[in-house]
Amino acid sequence: MSTTTALQEIGGGSLQEAAPAAGYLPSGAESEGVGFQDVMRVVRQRKVTIVVTTIITYMLVCAATYVVYRYFPQYPSEAMFQLDPPESMKLLRDPSNNMINPDFMAQMLQTEANKLRGANLLLEVAGMPDVQKTRYFDWYDRDVAKTVEGLRKDLIAVPIPDTQLIRLVLATRDKEESRLIVANLARRYTDSFKNEAQRALTDQATNLKNVLSERNAELEQKRKALALHRQTSDAPSLESQRIISAEHIAKLMTQIAEQQSTTSAVQAKIDSLAGIDPSQIPLTAEHQIIIESDPLLRYLRSTVESLDVQLRVTKLQFGEQHRIIRQIEEQRQGYFEKEIAKREELTDQVRYRQLENLRDEHRQRINALAQLEESLRGAESQQRDLDKSIQAALQMEQDIESLQKLIEAVETDYQIAKSAVADTSRARLHLVQDPRPAVKPTQPNLYVFLGGGAALALLVGFAVAFLREFTDKRIRTPIDVARFGHLSVLGSVPLLDDEEAEIDTMEEAVRVAPHSVIAEAFRKVRTNLQFSGPRETQRTLLITSPSPGDGKTAIAINLAVTMAHSNQRVLLIDCNFRRPAVRERFANTRPEGLSNVLTNQSQPEDVITATDLPNLYVMTAGPMPPRPAELLGAQKMHDMLARLTESEVTLGGQRVRFDRVLLDGPPSLLISDALVLAMQVDGVLVVARADTNAKGALKRAREQLEAVNARVVGAVLNGVRARAGGYYKQQYRDYYEYTSDDVVPPDLPGLPGPDEIEKKV
């Protein structure tokens, strides 16, 4: 009968709650955050801690409640005051509804409430003989100053919202003392309130009278200043002067605009003439007349004309080729050239004079514009002075008017204050509720202490549970392996102390007790390992652990035995040269081993020993070599593993081909041998020990293996307790009852009997 479903996950909780299925890896394997499932797991695993802590905490709360009720009760005594403002104080009322202003009334009530806790009043009460006879006074070492500070701390004096009432409360350990102290305080305060109210009203009337005198004096000064201003500034003519000044300013601005326009036109002409050749400046008819009127030019032109007449006459007289004609022509040509030169000279002079005249005109207009602008500034300054004078007079009139209104308001308030001083119905403070002894104490409040204590106890229980969970640095459950080591959990091996079968050492568990819970756990590891990948990718497996003492050798031996039981030929190789442990667990094994093969002293067939279990073979570590890491990482090691898994070897005259080769390696965090071996095998199986390995150590082991590109197929959690402390073994009993021979039929129809099975074996 199959029992593979009988053994469930073993961990910090119950046998059925502890471990996830094979290949379990939380979503977001690289994250170590806390989700809802983690919270529920902690609650399930730590429920005993939560319950015990909650009960203990609540018991402490109940004890504290009893102590407070028995030795430190608080009996309150309460008095109530009513503040009634007088009807005659109309300045305190809202004109819209003839009611006391709520904000002002709240301020008055708060002021009186603060006075009830004033140091002077409390000092008078603490000095009374009957108060000094109380235990309350004794509590403060019969010191008046300490008693005053105690009263300031213990007294509650607050206005009641939306009323004219003030509530005064004091709680002490004695009912009568609370009433006595509150009664004395109320009586002392009501006696002093009348005198204080009278003084306040008198002071208010005096202040209003002083303010009224100051405002009348200020009004008289302003009236004199206004009269003097009107007298010195000739006020009637100010407005007419202001109108004339405004008209003059407008006229000046018009002239300035015209002058700016003319100046711009002249500047434009200058710019147009300055940018061309002087010989190209056009001349007007007037300029031509001026040029032609020059005496020298007229003389030269008349001389040329006379020589022309003389030349025509001489030609008629002497002919064209006469010597005299040539003389006259030469003379005429000389005068003609002088005429042309003179005309050009006069033309240049006229053109230059034209440009200079424009520039002179431009300068004159600029000067005129500056004079107009200066006149405008003077006129505007005069205008501002007139405006200031008129504005000053208007401001004085407005100040006088405002001051008159203020004086009228102060006069009204002063008359009301005078009436209030003379009024016998001024504001009063009534004691509307006398203090009485309390019926029951207000402290402890059972609803708060017991109800809130229950919530507090539960909160403390959860806090302690989660504090233990998050401060625990050890691997406790398979979930810790998956969460912190980021490894698929192939199975969990129970702690040997919790096993009910008679097993001396863990290495002999499957061989000595094949039907035990521990043996079933190894069979589950074997099954999960088979389903974690194809067999071709798991022919050679290295079994290592983060630290020594994690039980990797026990896991390797039992896993090899379990695989051999499933008709797999298994070779177990002890690769831990520094601490070999396989040979002492198997009798009749050879002293030679792996080191002899790697140093070419022997062949694998010479050092492999067949055990007394079918299908299980062992190769011991052999003598300690000088450099273990170099031997394990050599090509010889790789070739040997390939030969053992890919071809047959001759052992005792039989040809054997191994289905699995398991390597019991050294710890991965201590020495480099395990990392060297990890690169030689198909996969690595990491063994972690519950309650021993640190979470960080398991994570570093996985990171180192991945750093050398090793294929980590999963992890096995060793030494897991059924429950914290190992006391809950009901799950083990259920397993043995379910698989006992008493509930299994001795003979099943159609199956061979025990004798036939023994003969076949």
The model's pLDDT over 611-648, given as tens digits with 9 standing for 90+, comes to: 999 999 999 999 998 888 898 999 999 999 999 999 88
Q: Which pLDDT belongs to residue 87?
A: 52
Out of 5-9, 286-290, 486-490, 751-755, give the one with best mean pLDDT: 486-490
State pLDDT tens for residues 464-513.
888 877 777 788 888 888 888 889 999 989 887 767 667 878 888 888 88
How many Å apart are CA 459 and CA 424, to the nearest integer?
Answer: 62
State pLDDT tens for residues 409-464.
888 887 777 776 666 545 567 788 888 887 778 778 778 888 888 999 899 988 98
CA distances from 190 to 38, 159, 427 (A): 66, 16, 12
CA distances from 485 to 482, 538, 686, 696, 717 (A): 5, 21, 10, 8, 11
β-pairing, 165-172 with 156-159? antiparallel
Q: Which pLDDT belongs to residue 701?
A: 92
* Beta strands across the sheet bearing 165-172: 156-159, 165-172, 75-84, 428-433
Structure tokens at 517: 């819970």
State pLDDT tens for residues 201-212.
677 778 888 888
Helix (H, G, I), strand (E, B) or coil at 649: strand
Burial bucket for residue 468 (CB in 10 Å: 0-12, 13-18, 19+):
middle
How many Å apart are CA 117 and CA 373, to the nearest integer?
Answer: 77
How many Å apart are CA 340 and CA 649, to the nearest integer?
Answer: 138
Whole-prediction pTM value? Answer: 0.50
Residue 17 has pLDDT above 50, yes or no: no
3-state secondary structure 681-695: CCEEEEEEECCCCEH
DSSP state of 27: S
Residue 142, Ramachandran bin (φ over 0: left; ψ between -120 and 50: alpha; else beta): left
Q: 657-667 as b/e, with b when 16 or more CB fall inside 10 Å? A: ebbbbbbbbbb
The rounded mean pLDDT for the chain is 80
Residue 140 has pLDDT above 60, yes or no: yes
